[in-house]
Amino acid sequence: MSDEARAGRRVRRGTARLAAAVLATAGLLAAGHAADAGSASGRVDVPDRAGRAVAGRTVSPSPAGAGRLAAVEEGVQGGGALAARPSPVAAGTPRTAHARDAAAGAPAPVAAATATQARTSPTVAPPSVPPATVAPPRTTTPTATAPATPTARPTTPPTTAPTAPPTIAPTVTATPGASPRSLTDAITDAIRDAWGTPTPAATPVPTGPDCRRVKCVALTFDDGPGPYTATLLRHLAARKARATFFVVGQNVVAHPDLVRRAAAAGHEIGGHSWSHRDLTTLRAASIRADLARTAKAVKAATGVAPTIMRPPYGAQNAYVRKHAKQPMIMWSVDTLDWRYRSSARVARVAVKNARPGGIILFHDIHPTTVKAIPRVLKKLSARGYHFVTVSELLGTAPGKLVYRGPRP
């Protein structure tokens, strides 16, 4: 068979299918209209098998039938299964009586018969469907059975509260049994796994200069913190100088913020007893309790317990040294600032008697002492001195239990 013959055959088949669908639709619609019109009077003229109208038959459309008609009509008009159903038609098939009646314009008696006859008919043009013959309606109230009542709908549409769009949050798959992690940790770990980035090391605490090669001096301040300690911290910060504070425990409790600021600035905190009592007059248990109470207060303020101490008044002996069990830091220069309240004298004595490796004694509870510090820092810096803490000056651990420093 040639290509032209095949194409013609496909065209004829498609046309036949379309004609069958149109005929079936026409018959169903005609029957449906007739049933609807006759439902008002209870009587309708129904065509017989030959397509001729027969008057006087009483029709009571059932709900099921009305539903099937509506479904078929919707399926045909919308291109459903009925419209797409294949209906092969052989060329030269003779027409039947029903097919001739349908082509002449008479409605098919039933949908099934019309569809069956349409499958055997050749290609025809879609006919025009005349309206069915309907008896005049009566004026009485209709008694026909009402069609099926559709499912009741609510009179008032349900009120639905507006729903906010869901927030899509990134999820992290957690390992069973592992502690929950934040999204930042998960992203960081993924980047490290992909690029091999090592975990950054903690920033090391800045260490002082090597006092074996450069000139170093340790400025120490006793009896604080007090009302002038904050000003002293500003003077030291201006010169980037570090110092050591030997604090009294009860003053630490009264001014923990000052002790915390001093430690955060890199200064060293040492103990100076709880209430500045002479330790040589106390029993062993009292010495230990006094120093332990002071260390606890310092740790509460800074997070670190002191490792060095200075006995009040510099009073110490073998008994105190035995029970203190901490390096006792004395001094090499005593400015006597507690006796002579002169800023000029304090600065002059400190600068004149300073030596490399020296420890200078001040008291930050006196305003004249705090006022002298900027001059001391300026003069000693000009001479090449570096200002360090006691532990930086002595190294990791003092070589002696009592350290006085070099004498002037």
**pLDDT tens across 347-365, in order?**
999 999 999 999 999 999 9
pLDDT greater than 80 at residue 396: no
Say if residues 118 and 20 touch (Cβ distance below 8 Å): yes
Give which of 356, 359, 369 is closest to 390, Cα–Cα.
359
pLDDT at site 34: 58
pLDDT at site 364: 97
The CA distance from 261 to 41, in Å, is 105
Domain contains 58? yes
Give which of 314, 318, 325, 319 is closest to 283, Cα–Cα.
319
Rg of the chain, C-alpha, whole Å? 55
Average pLDDT, integer, range 42-56:
48
Residues 249 and 390 in one domain: yes
The CA distance from 130 to 18, in Å, is 20
pLDDT at site 226: 96
pLDDT at site 307: 93
pLDDT band at residue 256 using 50, 70 and 90 as cut-offs:
very high
Residues 250 and 373 in one domain: yes
pLDDT band at residue 72 using 50, 70 and 90 as cut-offs:
very low
pLDDT at site 112: 42
pLDDT tens sequence across 366-385:
999 999 999 999 999 999 99
Residue with tokens 């046309």: 15
The CA distance from 250 to 119, in Å, is 112
pLDDT greater than 70 at residue 320: yes
pLDDT greater than 70 at residue 266: yes
Domain contains 165? no
Q: Name which of 74-88, 217-231, 305-319 the model is least confident about.
A: 74-88
Residues 103 and 227 in one domain: no
Does this model's pTM top 0.85? My answer is no
pLDDT greater than 70 at residue 58: no
Tell me which residues are annotated as active site: 222, 363
Any idea what the CATH number is for the domain that residue 230 is in?
3.20.20.370
CA angle 126, 129, 132 (to 5 degrees): 160
Domain, as residue range, for 82: 9-119
pLDDT at site 401: 58
Q: Which of 85, 119, 153 is the last residue of a domain?
A: 119
pLDDT tens sequence across 152-181:
444 444 555 555 555 444 444 444 444 455
Q: Which of 63, 87, 119 is the last residue of a domain?
A: 119
Residues 108 and 226 in one domain: no
Residue 154 in tokens: 């609510």
3-state class (DSSP) for residue 386: strand
> Is the bond leading into 225 cis (omega within 30 degrees of zero)?
yes
Domain contains 161? no
pLDDT at site 194: 55
Say if residues 252 and 390 touch (Cβ distance below 8 Å): no
pLDDT greater than 50 at residue 259: yes
